[in-house]
Chains A and B, each alone.
Chain A
Amino acid sequence: MSIVEKCAVIGVGETKYERGSSKSSTQLQLEASLAAIRDAGLEPRDIDGLIPIGITGATAEELVVNFGIPDLRYSALIPHGGASGIGAIQAAVAAVASGVCNNVLVSCGRNVTSGAKAGARIHTMPQFRYVTEFELDSGAIAPVQLYAPMARLHMEKYGTKSEQFGEIAITMRKHASLNQNAIMKKPMSLSDHQASRMISDPFRLFDCSLESDGGAAFIISSAERAADAPHAPVTIMGVGMGHPDSPGSITQRPVLTRVGVAKAAPRVFEMAGVKHADIDVAEIYDCFTYVVLCQIEDLGFCAKGEGGSFVENGRLSLSGELPTNTHGGLLSQGHMLGINHIVELVRQLRHEGGAAQVANAEVGLVTGYGDMGDGGVAIMRRG
């Protein structure tokens, strides 16, 4: 059985993204979820599949009691950090296409500025066991320190420059300035990027994404049901996950400059039956600037090592060849584990992108990147 074009995203919802929210992660998740349910033209009782994302928000049980869901037929947990949203699309599409359930709500809620910091939590997570046991005491504490050697080797091997990371940061900021629901809108120049303080070389402050509070959600249903929904349906053409070699330890990874999405991308492009040139808009997971550059290569938009020059000359801007992170991304809109990337792709393909709308966007791509390089890709189309 094929899952190609069997399902669509019929509803999306977000809360305000901010820092210092007084609302709990569960409340933020409930608010975003309800917005997505209403956007889909459904009632909470219509939800019969639940995939909560992340480790800070509500459980399926919590969502059931708050929404009064009478008959939950399917639930799943996807334990791959920022790749979990794409993993949830994969799971939801398989469940709906096979008739297990009808309407799957995927949602996250985060309060990491008033609540516990995300970086400090990773050492309690089983997938970070090797880091916790063998690297933490040397001073490898936060994800930025674990990922930096990947970027450093890319620079040493291919001549990639910090200024090229800066191009990515500036472009995301420019897009955020067009978005009412973005946290960081102050214009950023290349010299601002270069002057930002070094966190873990080669990553400067402006190479890092934001810690932010909020909730985001989307709903997946069958393509037939989508035809009756209030908004233009956004059909899922292909979706897949890929995991890097040595997924539990970057240190032990034979090729440091390749991440999981490299394995997923060929499968997903084939499933969707589209070519790279067909992608009108891309929402690429951007926990760090380099992670965008590496994924662009691993997705096949350019050869390995050419990502630095690829991102130059405004190629990722709204009028460029590959408009990327039209909402401002994790770097400048807010960090919603990439659920905000999925929401934004749906908006773009509905032509509801506002000031950041890519003209005539018909086909788009969204990625996820989690923990130590788990990857996911989904390709969607309008209609």
Chain B
Amino acid sequence: MAQQSETSIVDIDAPYWEGAARGVLVLQQCEDCGQIRHYPRLMCSNCHSLRVGHVEATGRGRVVSWTISHHAFSPKFAEEVPYALVTVELDEGVRILGRAETDFELEVDRQVRVEFRQHEQEKPTLWCIAEDQKGEEN
């Protein structure tokens, strides 16, 4: 009887989600040229290396842009509208899309830090906190 292969295809998103589960923002970094990239992908667009490592982001960045959603496009968000979705450029040069509390003053280039929050069994999501505000866990 042929043995079943134990090989499985590498999930390039797994390190991000493993980091998120511990509250750490993990980014891919090319093991050859050192370029940091996000969202996760197979190849370094700078040197075309397939060798990839990971770094923990500082979590610091600046506001690029945002939207405030007033319409709930899924029942899951019906209780949450209006809510802000914020595009943040991290100090590492890559970006994330995060949520922000309603009292967060949205302004281009505002300095922020991002942190993961997780509710029950849902996937962890990133939240933006103004540098001068206290985070949920601090």
Contact = CB atoms under 8 A, between A and B. Distances in A.
**A and B: bona fide binding partners:** yes
Interface of A: 119-120, 130, 133-135, 137-142, 144-145, 148-150, 152-153, 156-157, 197-203, 249, 251-252, 256
Nearest to A138: B125
Given A137-B122, A139-B80, A145-B85, A156 B65 contact: yes
Contact of B65 (A140, A203, A256): A256
Interface in B53-99: 64-71, 73-74, 77, 80, 82-83, 85, 87, 94-99
A335 to B, nearest CB: 17
B73 A138 contact: no
Contacts of A251: 87, 95-97
Interface string B94-119: 11111100000000100000000000
Contacts, number: 87
B73 A149 contact: no
B123 to A, nearest CB: 5
Contacts of B16: 134
Contacts of A256: 64-65, 87
A197 B74 CA distance: 18
Contacts of A120: 73
17 contacts: A119-B73, A120-B73, A130-B39, A133-B13, A137-B123, A138-B85, A138-B126, A139-B85, A148-B67, A153-B65, A156-B108, A197-B71, A198-B68, A201-B67, A201-B70, A201-B82, A249-B39
A382 to B, nearest CB: 42
| 8 A-B pairs with the lowest CB-CB distances in the bound complex, closest first | A148-B67, A149-B65, A141-B73, A153-B65, A201-B68, A198-B70, A142-B73, A200-B69
B119 to A, nearest CB: 10
Contacts of B73: 119-120, 141-142, 145
Contacts of B94: 252
B38 interface: yes
Given A138-B85, A139-B80, A140-B85, A149 B66 contact: yes
A149 B67 contact: yes
Contacts of B68: 198, 200-201
Contact of B74 (A141, A144, A149, A156): A141
A149 B39 contact: no
A144 B126 CA distance: 20
A153 B108 contact: yes
A140 B77 CA distance: 10
B13 to A, nearest CB: 6
